[in-house]
């Protein structure tokens, strides 16, 4: 059953913290689940994973690891980009493990 926009909006709202649009400052995770990647009730990464083969998705993840590592030294919040690279590296390991299990 699909949800209406108002139902999805209600799911995203929280009662704690100062709100900015649909999001609470206290609930924003800029590394693992940035709010602009979950608009509409689905994580953008989940959509990308669903639309790509595992090999292509692994390439996408590797590209993001490199992107965040290569540009972190030019950012004010360097540690945030390093944590984002770590997030994508962890996702890559998980995807590779999932496929290794299929081969056994």
Range of the domain at 84: 53-104
- pTM given for the model: 0.64
Contacts for 103 with CB less than 8 Å, ≥ 6 apart: none
More confident residue, 20 or 99: 99
Determine the pLDDT at residue 41. 76
Residues 67 and 86 in one domain: yes
The pair of three-digit structure tokens given for residue 14, joined into one six-digit string: 């929280």
Residues 21 and 58 in one domain: no
Q: What are the DSSP calls for 15-38, one per residue?
A: SSS-EETTEEGGG-BTTTB-GGGS
pLDDT 10s digits, 60-84: 999 999 999 999 999 998 999 999 9
Residues 31 and 62 in one domain: no
Contacts for 33 with CB less than 8 Å, ≥ 6 apart: 43
């Amino acid at each position: 059953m699909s949800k209406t926009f108002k139902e999805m909006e209600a799911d995203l709202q929280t009662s704690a913290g100062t709100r900015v649009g649909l999001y609470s400052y206290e609930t924003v995770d800029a590394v693992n689940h940035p709010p602009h990647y979950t608009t509409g009730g689905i994580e953008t990464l989940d959509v990308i994973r669903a639309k790509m083969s595992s090999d292509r998705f692994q390439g996408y993840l590797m590209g993001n690891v490199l992107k965040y590592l290569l540009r972190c030294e030019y950012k004010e919040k360097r540690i945030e980009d390093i944590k984002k690279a770590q997030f994508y590296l962890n996702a890559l390991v998980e995807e590779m493990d999932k496929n290794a299990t299929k081969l056994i």
